[in-house]
Amino acid sequence: MAKSQLRSHREAKKPKKVKVPAAPAVGATPPAFQTVKGSDMGKHRH
């Protein structure tokens, strides 16, 4: 039972750590992403 819970906690922590580096990676390219995504988002939102 203890091993099963440890595995669940480790698997739940793994995806969270992967999302952390993904956030700064997108922010590292705001000019190119903002121009394309900004235009696309503006049209989709309106």
Asked if pLDDT for residue 2 goes beyond 60, the answer is yes
Main-chain dihedrals φ then ψ at residue 28, nearest 5 degrees: -70, -20
Rounded to the nearest integer, the mean pLDDT of the chain is 57
For residue range 13-42, list pLDDT tens digits in order. Answer: 665 555 555 555 555 555 555 555 555 555
What is residue 22's predicted lDDT score, i.e. its pLDDT?
56
**Domain locations along the chain:** 2-45
pTM over 0.75: no
What is residue 25's predicted lDDT score, i.e. its pLDDT?
56
Amino acid at 42: G
SS3 31: helix
What is residue 18's predicted lDDT score, i.e. its pLDDT?
56
Asked if pLDDT for residue 5 goes beyond 60, the answer is yes
